[in-house]
């Protein structure tokens, strides 16, 4: 405990914020994308330094207990900073093409870059803060900073998506605020009027056994509904596909790859507290129920999609459902698997969005019927999309297979009733996605091969990492996951 400071953390949080201000003030400059990459790179380096320090010295509590880093959030911080960096790299050529196509104006790019950095900074604050109230503030700020990004193209559909996103997440997040108030109320009741410290997660975690179960149960319902809306859990998922499909592709990638993770992180933090107070399976059951519902709903809606980005947005809902279900089961193995799944899903899904974005850009349409023969047009895009889809569908040897396998085997042991549902869902998802992706990649086309293959480095870096994680998890990473899994606890 204490009021120590951490240069790494300061750098981590200050860099994107400075980036947002700089990019906002500088206006539409030609080097803005490079600057964006630069700030993202700095953030990533700070995250790495922070990770090294936490791995070496254990958990870190700084700035009057307002921020804390433990095994659970430090890996998410690193992941967020990494995907943030690769997305920034991807976004440079992608947005340039969008500019050339006249879909955005250069003045809008100023907003885009500034908000991108702001969005990164809100997510990092949400991940590192120790204050449940600040967590809420950061989550809401994350919504607000992305609303205008979703509506960047100013089309009717994107405005609608933005409105839905704003209202649904706004309402959801208001429920979360109520849950936070209840949490504060319970904390004050248990540990007396301590003002600020009553909302600190570390304090709450210390006294969770004394917190009033009735209030905490109620608080959890509100928190789960609130943050669950942001996770995209059914039945409050409807903003997610719209926002993903209508916003610019880099934004879809960070929404799917990062924001959903941060929202799940918030839910899990709350679950740890509530479970410690309730001593009942209610939070677990709720997570499993919502998770399973999301999986089932998402896979059946997968069939009806015609838009490539919407297709993968629904796939995100499915995977968020799987992760939520795994956290609901709890216990060392399931938590481990869930964390691994968060990592690989984040990497794979952003890679898919990168590839899909390029594919749609080349075809001039997001409709899957109009995207054909990617393998002839551009083998890199074709293979990127194919590999990504195979990875997300859980084919070995990709990392998604490892995590899904772990989750399924745990489910067989702990919650046998859910196994057939999960298996069916995965099979349906496989058929739906593979059935769509295959003609897009290998279908007949009259289009000519592109003269220059597009730079798809981020795609293959992500997929490479996922592949590595499927074959071999480095021991320090595994230790990390295990420590985080222990922190989360729960289960039998």
Partner 1 sequence: MNGAPLTLQLLNFCAALLLLLSFAMLSQRRIVNLVNLLAVQGSVLLLATLLLAARTGQHHLYLSAALTLGLKVILLPWLLHRLIRRLGVYWDAEPLLNISGTMLVGVLTVVFAFGLAQPISQLASTATRNAIGIAVAVVLLSFLMMITRRKAMSQVVGFLSMENGLFFGAMSATYGMPMVVEFGVALDVLVAVLVLGIFFFQIREQFDSLDLHHLESLREEAGHGGRS
Considering only 39, 94, 153, 383, the residue that binds partner 1 (CB under 8 A) is 153
Is 136 an interacting residue with respect to partner 1 (CB under 8 A)?
yes
* Shortest reach from residue 489's CB to partner 1, in Å: 26
Number of residues that make up the chain: 492
SS3 content of the chain, % helix, strand, coil (to 5): 80, 0, 20
CB under 8 A: which stretch of 78-86, 165-173, 318-326, 346-354 binds partner 1? 165-173
CB under 8 A: which stretch of 42-50, 250-258, 366-374, 452-460 binds partner 1? 366-374
Is 189 an interacting residue with respect to partner 1 (CB under 8 A)?
yes
Of the two residues 75 and 314, which places its CB atom closer to partner 1 in the complex?
314
Cβ contact 384:354 at 8 Å:
yes
The 282-301 contact track toward partner 1, x by CB under 8 A, reads: -------------------x
Is 155 an interacting residue with respect to partner 1 (CB under 8 A)?
yes
Considering only 10, 41, 144, 468, the residue that binds partner 1 (CB under 8 A) is 144
Considering only 1, 21, 52, 196, the residue that binds partner 1 (CB under 8 A) is 196
Is 199 an interacting residue with respect to partner 1 (CB under 8 A)?
yes
How far is the C-alpha of 492 from the C-alpha of 433, rounded, in Å?
35
Among positions 300-359, residues that touch partner 1 (CB under 8 A) are 301, 304-307, 310
Is 278 an interacting residue with respect to partner 1 (CB under 8 A)?
no
How far is the C-alpha of 50 from the C-alpha of 103, rounded, in Å?
39
Considering only 36, 91, 131, 380, the residue that binds partner 1 (CB under 8 A) is 131
Is 162 an interacting residue with respect to partner 1 (CB under 8 A)?
yes
Of the two residues 370 and 424, which places its CB atom closer to partner 1 in the complex?
370
Q: Provide the 3-class DSSP secondary structure of residue 380.
A: helix
- Assign residue 65 a region (left: φ > 0; alpha: ψ between -120 and 50; beta: otherwise): left
Considering only 70, 242, 275, 404, the residue that binds partner 1 (CB under 8 A) is 242
Considering only 52, 171, 427, 471, the residue that binds partner 1 (CB under 8 A) is 171
How far is the C-alpha of 285 from the C-alpha of 325, rounded, in Å?
9
Of the two residues 225 and 465, which places its CB atom closer to partner 1 in the complex?
225
* Shortest reach from residue 190's CB to partner 1, in Å: 10
How far is the C-alpha of 382 from the C-alpha of 473, rounded, in Å?
28
Q: Provide the 3-class DSSP secondary structure of residue 444.
A: coil
Q: Provide the 3-class DSSP secondary structure of residue 68.
A: strand
Of the two residues 136 and 325, which places its CB atom closer to partner 1 in the complex?
136
Cβ contact 142:262 at 8 Å:
yes
What DSSP string describes 216-277?
Answer: HHHHHHHHHHHHHHHHT-TTS-THHHHHHHHS-HHHHHHIIIIIHHHHHHHHHHHHHHHHHH
Is 245 an interacting residue with respect to partner 1 (CB under 8 A)?
yes
CB under 8 A: which stretch of 84-92, 208-216, 277-285, 286-294 binds partner 1? 208-216
> In Å, what is the CA distance from 378 to each residue of 355, 357, 374, 444, 453?
11, 13, 6, 13, 6
How far is the C-alpha of 392 from the C-alpha of 386, rounded, in Å?
10
CB under 8 A: which stretch of 15-23, 83-91, 158-166, 414-422 binds partner 1? 158-166
Measure the CA angle with vertex 490, ends 486 and 492; round to 5°. 105
Of the two residues 301 and 465, which places its CB atom closer to partner 1 in the complex?
301
414: Cβ contacts below 8 Å, ≥ 6 apart: 329, 331, 334, 491, 492
* Shortest reach from residue 51's CB to partner 1, in Å: 27
Binding site for partner 1 (CB under 8 A): 66, 131, 133-134, 136-137, 140-141, 144, 147-148, 151, 153-164, 166-167, 170-171, 174, 177-178, 180-182, 184-185, 188-189, 195-196, 198-199, 212, 214-215, 218, 238, 241-242, 245-246, 301, 304-307, 310, 360, 364-368, 370
């Amino acid at each position: 405990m204490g009021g120590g400071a951490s240069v790494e953390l300061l750098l981590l949080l200050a860099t994107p914020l400075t980036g947002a201000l700089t990019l906002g003030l500088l206006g539409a400059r030609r080097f803005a994308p490079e600057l964006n990459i630069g700030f993202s790179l700095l953030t990533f380096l700070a995250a790495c330094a922070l990770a090294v320090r936490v791995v070496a010295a254990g958990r870190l509590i700084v700035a009057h207990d307002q921020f804390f880093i433990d095994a659970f959030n430090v890996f998410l911080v690193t992941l967020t900073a990494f995907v943030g960096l690769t997305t920034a790299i991807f976004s440079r050529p992608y947005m340039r093409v969008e500019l050339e196509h006249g879909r955005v104006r250069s003045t809008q790019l100023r907003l885009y870059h500034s908000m991108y950095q702001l969005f990164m900074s809100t997510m990092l604050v949400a991940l590192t803060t120790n204050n449940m109230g600040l967590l809420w503030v950061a989550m809401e700020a994350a919504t607000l900073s992305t609303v205008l990004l979703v509506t960047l193209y100013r089309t009717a559909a994107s405005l609608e998506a933005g409105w839905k996103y704003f209202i649904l997440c706004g309402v959801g997040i208001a429920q979360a605020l109520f849950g936070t108030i209840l949490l504060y109320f319970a904390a004050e009741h248990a540990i007396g009027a301590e003002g600020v410290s009553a909302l600190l997660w570390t304090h709450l975690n210390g006294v969770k056994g004394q917190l009033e179960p009735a209030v905490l149960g109620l608080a959890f319902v509100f928190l789960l509904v609130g943050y669950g809306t942001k996770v995209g859990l059914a039945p409050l998922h409807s903003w997610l596909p719209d926002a993903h499909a209508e916003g610019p592709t880099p934004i879809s990638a960070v929404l799917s790859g990062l924001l959903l993770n941060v929202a799940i992180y918030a839910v899990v933090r709350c679950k740890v507290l509530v479970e410690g107070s309730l001593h009942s399976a209610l939070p677990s059951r709720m997570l499993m129920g919502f998770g399973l519902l999301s999986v089932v709903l998402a896979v059946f809606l997968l069939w009806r999609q015609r838009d490539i980005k919407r297709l993968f947005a629904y796939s995100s809902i499915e995977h968020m459902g799987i992760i939520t279900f795994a956290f609901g089961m709890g216990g060392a193995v399931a938590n481990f698997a869930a964390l691994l799944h968060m990592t690989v899903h984040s990497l794979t899904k952003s890679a898919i969005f990168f590839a899909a974005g390029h594919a749609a850009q080349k075809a001039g349409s997001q409709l899957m019927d109009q995207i054909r023969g990617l393998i002839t047009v551009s083998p890199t895009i074709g293979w990127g999309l194919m590999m990504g889809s195979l990875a997300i569908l859980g084919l070995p040897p990709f990392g998604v297979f490892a995590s899904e396998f772990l989750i399924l085997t745990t489910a067989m042991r702990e919650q046998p009733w859910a196994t057939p549902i999960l298996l069916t869902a995965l099979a349906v998802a496989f058929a739906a996605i593979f059935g769509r992706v295959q003609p897009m990649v290998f279908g007949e086309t009259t289009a000519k091969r592109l003269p220059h293959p597009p730079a798809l480095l981020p795609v293959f870096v992500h997929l490479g990492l996922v592949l590595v994680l499927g074959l071999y998890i480095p021991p320090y990473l595994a230790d990390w996951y295990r420590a985080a899994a222990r922190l989360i606890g729960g289960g039998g």
